[in-house]
Amino acid sequence: MKPDIRRLLEDLVEHMSACDFFLADAVQILEKSMIAHAIKTAGGNRSEASKILGIHRNTLQAKLEEYAVVVPRKPPQTAGRAPRARAKQR
């Protein structure tokens, strides 16, 4: 972990402890944020997002449902090539 990130997290932990913030709440917020970011980064690809997070795809799927994270859907692709435009008749 980069030293600056570690320091930021340690400062955040101190602040949260002073506010009587529960560990379960902190874990849930961080986990949901990281999952949403990984899904966005991966363009909605769950397998790629699970690799980014370092967790199994099934675990990611369960977390997506638990936190109700919306995964963007890609538009369906049409089979074959797009139809050609008709030539103008004179």
Give the per-residue pLDDT at 61.
Answer: 96
Look at the block and give the residue holding tokens 């859907």. Answer: 73
Where in the chain are the domains? 22-72
The domain defined by 22-72 carries CATH number 1.10.1660.10: no
30-81 confidence digits (pLDDT tens)? 999 999 999 999 999 999 999 999 999 999 999 999 999 988 877 666 666 6
Provide the token pair at 62: 């369960």
Is the pLDDT score of 21 beyond 80? yes
Give the per-residue pLDDT at 72.
Answer: 82
User: What does pTM read for this prediction?
Assistant: 0.72
Angle at 24 between CA 52 and CA 10, to 5 degrees: 70
Give the per-residue pLDDT at 2.
Answer: 75
Give the per-residue pLDDT at 84.
Answer: 65
